[in-house]
Amino acid sequence: MAVEWMNSLFGGALISLSLFVFAVINNIAFGVGDMLKNTLEREASISWNNQILFLIGLIISPVIFTTLFYPVSGKTFQNEPVILMIAGLLVGVGYKLCNGGLITRMVLLSTYNLKASIAVLILFLIFGGASQLIFMFLTV
């Protein structure tokens, strides 16, 4: 259990450090969702290249992690395809409307309006928990 907590703390620190340094050296406070959207829009620029490189690094990180440390593999999903489609759509729309997802809000929290970001994080948790409870109730 102690190892899991240490890993969680260390992992959070790495997430924060990497995204924060990326924001500083590229002069843009972007989350992964913003980078993905820019990539899809194909507006080629130096900034665009840097975002692509960040995303490539992110996507292949499990392969390098497995080579360097210990094997990681994909976990099984317990969702119906229609739920995955609806949830994906909601996450995409939600990200765009509130200008950042969970990790963007966590990491760039200090650069946003602090109170607004904390409120958004709490709303993520409340609606996340409520949706699971309602879904469980409906499927029982």
Partner 1 sequence: MRFIINFSLGMIFGFGLLISNIFDSTKAKIFLLGSMDWNLSLLATILSSIIVSIILLLLLKTIFQITEDSFLTSQKKSLDRYSLIGSALFGVGWGLTGLCVSTATLNLVFNQWESILFFVFMALGFYAPQFFKNLA
Using CB under 8 A as the binding rule, whether residue 94 contacts partner 1 is answered as yes
Using CB under 8 A as the binding rule, whether residue 44 contacts partner 1 is answered as no
Q: Which of 92, 106, 78 is nearest to 20 (CA)?
A: 106
58, 51 Cβ separation under 8 angstroms: no
Give the integer Cα–Cα distance in Å for 115 and 103: 16
User: Using the rule CB under 8 A, which residue among 42, 43, 67, 73 binds partner 1?
Assistant: 73
17, 105 Cβ separation under 8 angstroms: no
User: Using the rule CB under 8 A, which residue among 42, 45, 67, 110 binds partner 1?
Assistant: 110
Using CB under 8 A as the binding rule, whether residue 67 contacts partner 1 is answered as no
Minimum CB–partner distance for residue 125 and partner 1 (Å): 7
Using CB under 8 A as the binding rule, whether residue 131 contacts partner 1 is answered as yes
Q: Which of residues 12-41 bind partner 1 (CB under 8 A)?
A: 12-29, 31-33, 36-37, 40
Give the integer Cα–Cα distance in Å for 123 and 100: 13
Computed on alpha carbons and rounded to an integer, the radius of gyration of the chain in Å comes to: 17
Using CB under 8 A as the binding rule, whether residue 4 contacts partner 1 is answered as yes
